[in-house]
Amino acid sequence: MTDYEWQPTADYIENANVTRLGRSNGLETLPELRARSVADIGWYWNAVVTDLGLPFRTPYEEVVDVSAGIERPEWFTGSTMNIVDACLTRWQTPQHAEKVAVAHEAEDGTVTKLTYRELAEKAAAIAAGLSSLGVKRGDPVALFLPMIPEAVIACYAIASLGAIIVPLFSGFAPSAIAARIHDAGAVAVIVADGTLRRHRRVEMKRLLDEAVASCPSVQHVIVVENVGGETPASTLDIAWNTLLETSTPPGEALGVSATETLLLAYTSGTTGKPKGAIHTHAGFLVKTASEVAYSFDVGPDGVFCWITDMGWIMGPLSIFGTHANGATLVLYEGSPDVPDIDRLWALVQAHRVTMLGVSPTLIRTLRAANSTTYADYDLSSVHVLGSTGEPWDPSAYEWLAVEVFGDRVPIINFSGGTEVGGSFLAPYPVESIRSCSLGGPSLGMDVDVVDANGDSVRGEVGELVCRQPWPAMTRGIWKDDARYLDAYWNTFPGLWHHGDFALVDDGQWFILGRSDDVMNVAGKRLAPAEVESVLITHPAVVEAAAVGVPDSTKGETVWAFWVPRASSTEDVSDELRALVASELGKPFAPSLVRRVSQLPKTRSQKIMRRAVRAAALNLPQGDLSGAENPDAVDEIARAVGSQTTK
């Protein structure tokens, strides 16, 4: 770890949303607020609702009721509401209605904007159209859409009916689409005719038609004309514009129970069918609104942009969290390095982005280009940088924080997940943040690091758990309660087991990767991030993946795969093996190191380590539906060749 540390200025602290929250409750410092937020979780989440003015139609009687057990909490009991009230309806005032709610930029540079008034009107019209098709409260409706305004409109339209949003990753193949639609029992699907990525047309409607052929629950397919041209038609099809023009007068959003299901967020795994995490209107609203307001310090004047996809939890979080705070949401549809690596900086300048969300892998790619053209763009609007999904390495982290942004903005590196509905861990802009750190527990999140016996540990690697519930905690796995209990509660009874290895070092928290990715080398647990962070310090390496494979002597040994910088032609695999031995110790030196041109990653740029391991060992690869570049898996297998373990 390096000595770099973000230090907030007095102005930063004074004007932060989280400072307002604390002071309005008689708390002057973040440590005081953190402590009280978990000493009394009911007090904290009620304070959030009050501070952010989140509307409930019928007031709640109790913030949280855990009488049925920590696994089955009831939040905001006795209340009614609709997430649309907080995100759209309350902003229909003369002062706010004409503010930009959504700004969309396509890969070709085309920009589309919707005001809060226009967004509310279109959402109401689509809701009326869906209702005319028979879509009603409790019906799942799938979204197979890129990051376009229609995705936002559709979310609010579905929610306003009390129906259930089922967002799907825009890069899915037909089998993956079908698996999720079938599991959800979706009665309708909203799909784009296509999208452009790296100048190539992706035929989304054709992919969906193939999937829907095996999904008898689907009664309607609503088609958004996004790129135009010929699109195959079916008897289930109805045009999006037809729904917009429905003659049915739009009504107000339906009042539903606070615990009504809002969306099913599907997670991908390497084995077993995908899990549909259940999120509710009140729970998802309160958690995402608090993340955007306090972690990312966004208010009504903010402009929030995260390079993501509707199929990842950051898609819905970006939509509802941004609009719950009355801010502007910037959507980017396409690859963030098209037409060149300056696209990200150009996006910031054009839309005056105040909160920019990126992945470590994307930043490593930009840094590897050895370009300084970021200096040609006006990045002064950026107030906070956001990051999630994978561990940072100090060189990329500090390049972004210091070289690009001049050490004037914090990196809010936060960690949570689909089932969490937001973050477990996150720093806040008002505190010092060490390089690559996750800061500490998110407000209201009673997280801990424990050993195999469930006892707290500090200064050593352990399992990440949570000791108390939170509003956006998934209410279960859709149609599979036993799987819900087994996945999160049975490992440490009474504790939520998240499946990540973590370390608390001198008060700062670090995630070291999925615990099922962690290697056991000669009796010592070794996280992939520990090896990878050494490998990418070599000037020839832009990114790397480390996996554990069976070994007759050590139990497991390390295999490593690395991607060279564009300027590097030399195979430095032997140097890398020696580097790991020098930094971590000889027992942890990889027994196999291979150069490859790419690593398999998700669209959000997470490295798929389990896919790497499966390819290396010629094992079943499991679900690769979320892979951005599945051909990388075959390259891993070829790179290993006939190599066998000892």
What is the domain partition of the chain in residue ranges?
5-70+281-445, 91-101+115-256, 517-640
* Cα–Cα distance, 571 to 557 (Å, whole number): 21
Per-residue confidence (pLDDT) for residue 156, from 0 to 100 = 98
Specify whether domain 517-640 bears CATH 3.30.300.30.
Answer: yes
DSSP state of 627: B
- Residues 5-70+281-445: name the CATH superfamily: ANL, N-terminal domain (3.40.50.12780)
Residue showing tokens 């000669």:
522
Q: Which DSSP category does 399 fall into?
A: I
Q: Which fold has domain 91-101+115-256?
A: Rossmann fold (3.40.50)
Distance of CA 47 to the CA centre of its chain: 25
Q: What is the DSSP string of 276-331?
A: EEEEEHHHHHHHHHHIIIIIS---TT-EEEE---TTSTHHHHHHHHHHHTT-EEEE
| Cα–Cα distance, 162 to 316 (Å, whole number) | 16
Rounded CA separation 423/470 (Å): 11
Could you give the CA distance from residue 335 to residue 248 in angstroms, rounded to a whole number?
39
Burial (CB < 10 A; 0-12, 13-18, 19+), residue 621, is: buried
Dist CA 383 CA 374 (whole Å) = 16
pLDDT of amino acid 610: 76
**Contact (CB, 8 A) for 22 and 28:** yes
Per-residue pLDDT, 155: 98
**279 backbone dihedrals φ, ψ, rounded to 5°:** -120, 145
* Three-state DSSP class for residue 143: strand
> Do 224 and 150 form a contact (C-beta atoms < 8 A)?
yes
Question: Does the N-terminal peptide bond of residue 339 adopt cis geometry, omega within 30 degrees of 0?
Answer: yes
Please give the span between the terminal C-alpha atoms of the chain, in angstroms, as a whole number: 33
> CA–CA separation, 419 vs 260, rounded Å?
16
Residue 644 has a pLDDT of 38
Burial of 271 (0-12, 13-18, 19+ CB in 10 A): exposed
Q: CA 266, CA 123: separation in Å to the nearest integer? A: 24
- DSSP codes joined into one string, 421-489: TEEEEE--TTS-EETT---EEPTT--EEEE-TTS-B-SSS-EEEEESS--TTS---BTT-HHHHHHHHT
Name the CA dihedral angle for 65, 67, 69, 72, rounded to a multiple of 10 degrees.
-40
d(CA 220, CA 337): 36
Cα gap 342→325, rounded to integer Å:
29
Q: What's the confidence (pLDDT) of residue 271?
A: 44
Rounded to whole angstroms, the Cα distance separating 270 from 592 reads: 23
| pLDDT 10s digits, 400-431 | 999 999 999 999 998 998 999 999 999 999 99
Q: Tell me the H-state helices in 25-115.
A: 30-39, 41-52, 83-87
Q: For residue 451, which amino acid is it?
A: D
The interaxial angle of helices 17-24 and 41-52, nearest 10 deg, is 120
**pLDDT at position 642:** 40
Question: Residue 24, exposed/middle/buried by CB under 10 A (0-12, 13-18, 19+)?
Answer: exposed
d(CA 348, CA 405): 12
Q: Residue ranges of the chain with pLDDT lower than 50?
A: 269-271, 642-646
Sign for the CA dihedral angle at 86, 31, 445, 517 comes to positive
The two structure tokens encoding residue 571: 């195979």
Residue that has been written with the tokens 């109401």 in this structure: 124
**Helix 609-616, helix 631-640: angle, nearest 10:** 40
pLDDT value for 40: 98
**Residue position matching structure tokens 């999630």:** 388
Q: Is 635 helix (H, G, I), strand (E, B) or coil?
A: helix
**Would you tell me how many other CB atoms lie within 10 Å of the CB of residue 263?**
27
Q: What is the pTM of this model?
A: 0.85
Angle among Cα 439, 442, 448 to the nearest 5 degrees reads: 80
Q: Collapsing DSSP states into helix, strand and coil, what is residue 15? A: helix
Q: What residue type is 587 in one-letter code? A: P
Does residue 328 come out as left (phi exceeding 0), alpha (psi in the -120 to 50 range) or beta?
A: beta
- Which residue(s) pair with 20 in the sheet? none
Whether 5-70+281-445 and 517-640 share one fold: the answer is no
Q: From residue 12, how far is each of 47, 301, 430, 466 by CA, in Å?
A: 22, 16, 7, 30
Secondary structure letter of residue 588 according to DSSP: G
Q: Which two tokens stand for residue 424?
A: 């477990």
